[in-house]
Chain A
Amino acid sequence: MPAVSKGDGMRGLAVFISDIRNCKSKEAEIKRINKELANIRSKFKGDKALDGYSKKKYVCKLLFIFLLGHDIDFGHMEAVNLLSSNKYTEKQIGYLFISVLVNSNSELIRLINNAIKNDLSSRNPTFMCLALHCIANVGSREMAEAFAGEIPRILVAGDTMDSVKQSAALCLLRLYKASPDLVLMGEWTSRVVHLLNDQHMGVVTAAISLITCLSQKNPDEFKTCVSLAVSRLSRIVSSASTDLQDYTYYFVPAPWLSCKLLRLLQCYPPPEDGAVKGRLVECLETILNKAQEPPKSKKVQHSNAKNAILFEAISLIIHYDSEPNLLVRACNQLGQFLQHRETNLRYLALESMCTLASSEFSHEAVKTHIETVINALKTERDVSVRQRAADLLYAMCDRSNAKQIVAEMLSYLETADYSIREEMVLKVAILAEKYAVDYSWYVDTILNLIRIAGDYVSEEVWYRVIQIVINRDDVQGYAAKTVFEALQAPACHENMVKVGGYILGEFGNLIAGDPRSSPLVQFNLLHSKFHLCSVPTRALLLSAYIKFINLFPETKATIQEVLRSDSQIRNSDVELQQRAVEYLKLSSIASTDVLATVLEEMPPFPERESSILAKLKKKKGPGVVPVSELEDGKREGGELNGGGDRGPDSAMSASNASTPSPSADLLGLRSAAPVSAAAPSAGSLLVDVFSESGAGGPAAAVNDDGFLRDLEPPTETSDTLLVEAPGDSDSVPPSAASEDLAPPLPEADELLNKFVCKNNGVLFENQLLQIGIKSEYRQNLGRMYLFYGNKTSVQFASFSTTVSYPGELQSHILTPLPLNVQTKPVEPLVEGGAQVQQVLNIECITDFSEAPQLNIKFRYGGALQNITLKLPVTINKFFQPTEMAATDFFQRWKQLSQPQQEAQKIFKANHGMDTEVLKAKLLGLGTALLENVDPNPENYVCAGVVQTKSQQVGVLLRLEPNAQAQMYRLTLRSSKDTVSKRLCDLLAEQF
């Protein structure tokens, strides 16, 4: 038991904690906890109302159990109950429980928000602070919605207590970070900025964090804070160490506030106003001067606080990068720290100097410390400090010191910690390339790299050395000689074999004059490594061998012998076997001329940025490198492997190019190219169709942006009416009644599902026929182009198509059909290899669940073909996207709370859970994808209005992926039950 127990002791809690501490084993602890949980549960469920004290005690026990790492699934209601207690300590425990164990249970959130609201309006500063702390701790979107409007008012109100202002400022900061769209400063902006002038240091300390964050996002609106910050800083810096009373920390005046002020100034360029700037420069000089003064205390707290300000000031000086004098002083100061006995200061000095090295004013000054930094790399005992030293060497490297730095980094690599080797390798490779004056040095460096740290040399690195060797003929002979020597080592890294194989295959002839490296010696050397290598390296070596046959005809017999051996020509690996077979055949039947052409030296690679750089950026942090740059690197690798040696990379990028991406479809009608890219097989009929239309053929209108301008509801007088028009109940539909229509194909639904989220593509294909679709919708109207392609060389006769609505014969004649589809008949003859086009005009009268059917009949070689498909006209095609703010969304969501308005499904993910694909699909659905609405960023919410002639139906959608379980929960709410249900059914098949 503790010696001191302040406040109100809870004896039961102390006993329980003691019990837990006395448990001899994990099992005993779990047993004790389960016993306690059962006890608490029964108390909470019991008939007897618990008094506040007991409730508080049990809630506190639950909290303790949770913090031990056990799950807690009850007690939330009791905690919420405590919030409205009139006893402070009970309320406090309630808030603590809520802060630690937030539950997204919406009912509870409402109750919690209610309690918070009451406390905020209580005018009792202690209660207000508790409530604000809770909001700041939870910081959820619901809370932002409820309080983001109220808190700025509390923050700037004249009668708010200082302590409440402090909490309000940071509370608002937390809400702003979580839901920036909900926190609108607007009219409060200037009053918030002026909190920098507040006479209470605590208020300034809290408010400045908020102001800094807001300034980063809206620098213009907050720029008046610069002069206020400078004058505040100036007052602190020039104050005597006792002036600020309790805000002086170990003889340092207001270190927290000083750091935050300097941090805020880093959101802006140097002040334009000369007087303000002069004052600021003075402050920075004073801070630098103070660093040279003898310490006022020997305590580490004193020097830490003082140096915290110093480092922040140096950051600001580096950020401005405009005062050469200050930059050099900063650099000298950091130079002193490089040799400080405090490891922490050495670490920070190395880190800070890294940024100084990139400034033109201080680059030279940084370079003077090279020996110290190299020494740090060799002698620091802490790997994190050595890492900083390596970073700094990299940053200070230029042409003048590159050889020294690269050599030091290479020698460090031999003993470097595994955790930083890969990054070191990349850095060495980049420096060697960037500052190579003579390329033999570059080749030596990279080969050394492979020798020392072969396992950490990524593909980018060895691809790059080959690229450079191929592009520079002055280094090729040297490279061949050097790899030949390197390969002499009995155990050499596989990456060395790859580089060796490639380079000797290309340039082995340059060293073949020397009998010590004659063609056969070269070949035998390479082949001696063959059996120890992995399949990709062996494949590369086989390519090198066939190149040898071309370079050195005298090796032909030996190499053919190798290729012919069972271990090659019957290798169980398909790639190896195929290469062996093909190369053997090539070498036996091709004439020398043909062989020389096929196996010609690789052409130079196009000059481009090193992909190693991209890799380093990627390692340093995801998101830094644009995707295109990364892909570039990948393609580069592919090309490098190309020619005689087609690597997996190039094959992959080739197949990527022809795989339809979901977003390509979305571009749809705006240009012809994406459509053909979306077609599954290149050169298919559909592609022809579309390229024709792009050239101004019959479907030229499709490519016209304004093609829907002339889109009008189909007129009922049309003589080609296939589907009965609404109200036109007396006439019998002419063709839809025919009884010889085949039932829809078994896969008709599946085919339909493929088009829910896209409008263009191939609907159906068999050996005879391909049907492509292009469609566009606006409001309740749509136009669909169908392209029927005859894949055979024989004419289709009696070709006819029928569009019908299922069950229309049985439907009540006074009820209009939900869809009105009009078209003209197609020509009855379709020549072999030809396509015909049909246009459908579609009008949505009311919402519907069944898709219209398309029946195609024709004779092929005398046999009647009869195919029925479902036309991909689904209710979502008539969506208009609706953008709305979170508040509107939730308000409407709540309005649609009747059980029949909601449709929900939980289902397994069938198509992976890639975010971009999901987004593309949701956009393809036709709704607006709303960002920052759902408090859980993993979830998706959408809104749209289904436009039908008879009514408009608002629809809200929420899709919650559970990546762990690979499941989704899909919820739809709309004002019409049939719409919710149909959309839910359709969409459940999409993800």
Chain B
Amino acid sequence: MRFMLLFSRQGKLRLQKWYVPLGDQEKRRLGRELVQTILGRKAKMCSFLEWRDLKVVYKRYASLYFCCAIEEQDNELITLEVIHRYVELLDKYFGSVCELDIIFNFEKAYFILDEFLLGGEAQETSKKSVLKAIEQADQLQENIDFQMRLFPGVLVPNMASESSGLFQN
């Protein structure tokens, strides 16, 4: 996968994940043009299109469009289900996810995506496993004692050397 975009019916980008190195200007330009192209399509049209030299797969969920640009050899139908699985993950995590959840907790949307897709490829397709990883991370909060209990003897010395050494060189 080359990149994934989430945007609203009004064309506002809610999430953008780029798996290929591009400059900021280029990303903005591509994003803008693709969003316009997709918003210009009618409701019953096919979910796939050739756009420039990319294959684009998109699907609309309520007010949000989810859109993936994939490689020539990638499978369109499974990409549709990548989108759906991501929507399910968001839904399960936020509990009936809505666009506002993604706006106000955009960082979480990115974290969940990273657990599911990495480098543009499916990393973990089990819903339970992804959510478990996120929940675990949420619990790992603010408390070094807690972490010490989880990983006794490992973290503390490491942390100490890390925080003292990092900016001195």
Chain A residues in the interface with B (C-beta under 8 A): 1-8, 14, 17, 21, 60, 63-64, 67, 69, 71, 81, 84, 86-89, 92-93, 96, 100, 111, 114-115, 118, 121-124, 126, 129, 132-133, 136-137, 139-140, 163, 166-167, 170-171, 173-174, 177-178, 201-202, 205-206, 209, 245-247, 249, 254-257, 259-260, 263, 266, 301, 304-305, 307-308, 311-312, 343-344, 346-348, 381-382, 384-385, 387, 621
Q: Produce 1/0 per residue, B20-50, CB < 8 A to A.
A: 0100100010000000000000101111111
Query: Which A residues are CB-close (under 8 A) to B78?
Result: 255-256, 259, 304-305, 308, 312
Does B77 contact A311, Cβ atoms closer than 8 Å? yes
Q: Could you say which residues of chain B place their CB within 8 Å of the CB of A6? A: 93-94, 105, 108, 138
Q: Check if B21 sits within 8 Å of A5, measured CB to CB.
A: no
Task: Report B38 CB to chain A, min CB distance, Å.
Answer: 12
Evaluate contact between A4 and B95: CB separation under 8 angstroms.
Answer: yes
In Å, the complex CA distance between A256 and B117 comes to 12
Contact of B123 among A67, A100, A121, A166 (CB under 8 A): A166
Instruction: List B contacts of A173 (CB < 8 A).
Output: 119, 121
Distance of B119 from chain A, by nearest CB (Å): 4
Q: Are B107 and A96 in contact (CB under 8 A)?
A: yes
Partner of A5 from B76, B105, B121, B147 at Cβ < 8 Å: B105
Contact among B50, B123, B125, B142 for A167, CB-based, below 8 A: B123
Point out the residues of chain A lying under 8 angstroms from B136, CB to CB.
126
Given A14-B104, A344-B47, A344-B76, A202 and B81 contact (CB-CB distance below 8 Å): no
A-contacting residues, B107-162, CB 8 Å? 107-108, 110-111, 114, 118-129, 133, 136-138, 140-144, 147, 151, 154-155, 158-159, 161-162
Task: From known contacts A87-B141, A167-B118, A344-B76, infer whether A60 and B107 are also in contact, taking CB-CB under 8 Å.
Answer: yes
Residue contacts A-B, CB under 8 angstroms, 19 given: A7-B138, A8-B142, A21-B103, A67-B13, A67-B16, A88-B140, A88-B147, A93-B107, A96-B107, A115-B162, A122-B158, A166-B123, A171-B119, A205-B123, A246-B127, A255-B78, A311-B75, A344-B46, A382-B44
B77 near A308: Cβ-Cβ < 8 Å = yes
- Whether B75 pairs with A343 at a CB distance below 8 angstroms is no
Is A384 a contact of B137 with CB atoms below 8 Å? no
Residues of B within 8 A of A170 (CB): 118-119, 121, 123
Interface, chain B (partner A; CB < 8 A): 13, 15-16, 19, 21, 24, 28, 42, 44-50, 53, 73, 75-78, 80-82, 84-85, 93-95, 98, 100-101, 103-108, 110-111, 114, 118-129, 133, 136-138, 140-144, 147, 151, 154-155, 158-159, 161-163, 165-167
A88 and B77 in contact (CB under 8 A), knowing A5-B105, A136-B118, A206-B122? no
Closest CB in chain A relative to B65 CB, distance in Å: 16
Q: Are B81 and A86 in contact (CB under 8 A)?
A: no
A96–B119 contact, CB under 8 A? Answer: no
Q: Which residues of A contact B128 (CB under 8 A)?
A: 246
Tell me if B46 and A92 are in contact (CB < 8 A): no
- Provide the residues of chain A in CB contact with B161, threshold 8 Å: 118
Chain B residue contacts of A133, Cβ below 8 A: 114, 118
B86 to chain A, nearest CB (A): 13
Contact assessment for B155 and A124 in the assembled complex, using a CB-CB cutoff below 8 Å: yes
Which residue of the partner chain B has the closest CB to A134? B114
Instruction: Return the chain B residue nearest A91 by Cβ.
Output: B140
B77 (CB) vs chain A CBs: closest residue: A308
Q: Would B151 and A123 count as touching, CB distance under 8 A?
A: yes
Residues in B neighbouring A69, C-beta threshold 8 A = 13, 28
A-B contacts at CB below 8 angstroms, number: 219
Task: In the A-B complex, list the 5 residue pairs whose CB atoms are closest, starting with the nearest.
Answer: A308-B77, A174-B119, A170-B118, A308-B78, A209-B121
In Å, the complex CA distance between A17 and B105 comes to: 10
Q: Would you call A305 and B81 a contact (CB within 8 A)?
A: yes
Given A86-B159, A206-B123, A381-B42, 11 additional A-B pairs, CB 8 A: A3-B101, A21-B103, A86-B155, A89-B141, A132-B118, A173-B119, A174-B119, A205-B124, A344-B76, A381-B45, A385-B46
Q: Are A301 and B107 in contact (CB under 8 A)?
A: no
Q: Is A347 touching B46 in the complex (CB atoms < 8 A)?
A: yes
Known contacts A92-B111, A301-B81: A382-B166 contact under CB 8 Å: no
Q: A8-B141, A67-B106, A136-B119 known; A312 and B166 CB under 8 Å?
A: no
Judge whether A122 and B104 touch: CB under 8 Å. Answer: no
Instruction: State which of A4, A348, A621 has its C-beta within 8 Å of the C-beta of B76.
Output: A348
Decide yes or no: A7 and B77 within 8 Å by CB, A173-B119, A301-B84 being known contacts: no
Decide if A84 touches B162 in the complex (CB within 8 Å).
yes
Residue on A nearest B114 in the bound complex, by CB = A133
Given A118-B158, A259-B78, A249 and B141 touching (CB < 8 A)? no
Task: Give Cα distance in the complex from A396 to B98, angstroms.
Answer: 47
B residues within 8 A CB of A7?
Answer: 108, 138, 141
User: Which residues of chain B are near A5, meaning CB under 8 Å?
Assistant: 104-105
CB <8 Å contact, B46 and A114: no
B169 to chain A, nearest CB (A): 8
Residue of A nearest to B25 (CB): A964
Say how far A236's CB is from chain B's closest CB, in angstroms.
13
Min C-beta distance of A455 to chain B, whole Å = 22
A897 to chain B, nearest CB (A): 15
Give the CA-CA distance A121 to B82 in the complex, in Å: 32
Tell me whether A124 and B138 are in contact (CB under 8 A).
no
Q: Are B124 and A64 neighbours in the complex by a CB distance under 8 Å?
A: no
A111 in complex: contacting residue of B138, B159, B166, CB < 8 Å: B166
